[in-house]
């Protein structure tokens, strides 16, 4: 049974009037999704609005009813587009402008023999600053779930089997927009759904709850440096 918004989205793919109608009616939803992904209030004056709006239009063009509810599908597309944009910006912000001849010994002005070392050192400082900023942001997000980032030391899985089980839970959350939204809205793991859909035990989910939540927060958000620490979960898991 498809909702009215689902049917309107299908029609909007080929009907400009329907597209305009669904975009106007869902502006607040688009802004809400963008705000949730960026962890701050987003308005139509922000660049994130443009990215989210383009992603919403893309969702209309690529949607068909067997993909589930349209708004859940649109949220996934918007989330992916925003995170991709944030990662591009993060890479650009860490680039350091250096004349080409600094590396090949050519050019009119003499260069310090330590220029390459200086560039590498500056790059490391930039990466360190980004990591610190990301840890602070994730720590703030974790406090909303009732624990601190430092709690991960004791709650992280040690064995590959357990790590793989936790990865399975994280992948499930990242691939299910409804459950992901439930996680961020209630600050509780959707235990019943996880047990039923993944086959994992409630005991394991309880024990590694903090780790699963933190990994989900990182992979679902704009944390390009910390994402590297969870590569074993699988690139396809990140939204």
Tokens for 40, please give them. Answer: 């701050």
Q: Are residues 143 and 127 in the same domain?
A: yes
pLDDT tens digits for 193-235? 999 999 999 999 999 999 999 999 988 887 877 887 777 786 4
- Domain residues for the domain of 19 are 4-90
Burial class (CB in 10 A: 0-12, 13-18, 19+), 88: exposed
Asked if 132 and 199 sit in the same domain, the reply is yes
- Where residue 12 sits, what CATH number does that domain have? 1.10.1740
CA proximity to 33, closest of 14, 52, 18: 52
Question: Over pLDDT 70: what percentage of the chain?
Answer: 77
What's the confidence (pLDDT) of residue 166? 93
Domain boundary among 90, 119, 134: 90
Q: How far is CA 220 from the centre of its chain?
A: 3
Looking at the structure, tell me whether residues 32 and 86 fall in a common domain: yes
pLDDT higher than threshold 80 for residue 238? no
Q: What is the pTM of this model?
A: 0.51
Query: For residue 95, is pLDDT > 60?
Result: no
CA atoms within 13 A on the CB side of 11: 13
Count Cβ atoms below 10 Å from residue 8 Cβ, excluding itself: 18
Residues 16 and 120 in one domain: no
Q: Is residue 46 domain-shared with residue 156, that is, in the same domain?
A: no
Whether residue 137 sits in one domain with residue 36: no
Helices marked H in the chain: 4-12, 16-25, 27-38, 47-62, 70-93, 101-104, 115-143, 152-155, 160-175, 177-186, 191-198, 202-207, 209-220, 224-227
Domain boundary among 90, 120, 135: 90
Mean per-residue pLDDT over the chain, rounded: 79
The Cα 186–Cα 29 span in angstroms is 18
In order of 12, 60, 64, 153, the CA distances from 9 in angstroms are: 5, 6, 8, 45
User: Are 147 and 102 part of one and the same domain?
Assistant: yes
Q: What is the pLDDT of residues 108-142, one digit of tens each?
A: 444 444 444 444 444 444 445 567 778 888 888 88
- pLDDT, residue 11, reads 93
- Token output for 11: 């029609």
User: Among residues 90, 123, 141, which one ends one of the domains?
Assistant: 90
Same domain? For 74 and 182 the reply is no
pLDDT at residue 89 in the model: 67
Q: Same structural domain for residues 146 and 224?
A: yes
pLDDT tens across 12-36, in order?
Answer: 999 989 999 999 999 999 998 988 8
Higher per-residue confidence, 119 vs 162: 162
> Domains in the chain: how many in total?
2
Instruction: Say whether both 83 and 101 belong to one domain.
Output: no
């Amino acid at each position: 049974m498809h909702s009215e918004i689902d049917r309107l989205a299908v029609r909007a793919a080929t009907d400009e009037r329907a597209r305009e109608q669904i975009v106007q009616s869902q502006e607040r939803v688009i802004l809400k999704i963008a705000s949730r992904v960026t962890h701050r209030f987003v308005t139509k004056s922000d660049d994130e609005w443009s990215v989210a709006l383009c992603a919403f239009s893309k969702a209309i063009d690529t949607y068909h009813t067997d993909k589930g509810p349209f708004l859940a599908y649109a949220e996934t597309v918007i989330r992916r587009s925003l995170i991709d944009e944030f990662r591009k910006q993060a890479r650009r912000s860490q680039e350091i402008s250096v004349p080409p001849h600094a590396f090949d010994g050519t050019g009119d002005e003499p260069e310090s023999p330590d220029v390459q070392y200086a560039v590498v050192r500056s790059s490391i400082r930039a990466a360190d600053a980004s990591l610190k900023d990301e840890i602070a942001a994730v720590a703030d997000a974790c406090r909303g779930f009732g624990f601190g980032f430092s709690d991960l030391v004791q709650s992280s899985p040690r064995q590959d089997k357990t790590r793989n089980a936790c990865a399975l839970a994280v992948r499930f959350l990242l691939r299910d927009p409804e459950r992901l939204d439930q996680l961020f809205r209630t600050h509780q793991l959707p235990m019943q759904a996880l047990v039923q859909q993944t086959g994992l035990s409630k005991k394991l989910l309880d024990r590694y709850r903090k780790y699963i939540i933190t990994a989900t927060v990182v992979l679902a958000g704009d944390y390009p440096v910390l994402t590297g620490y969870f590569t074993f979960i699988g690139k396809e898991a990140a939204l």
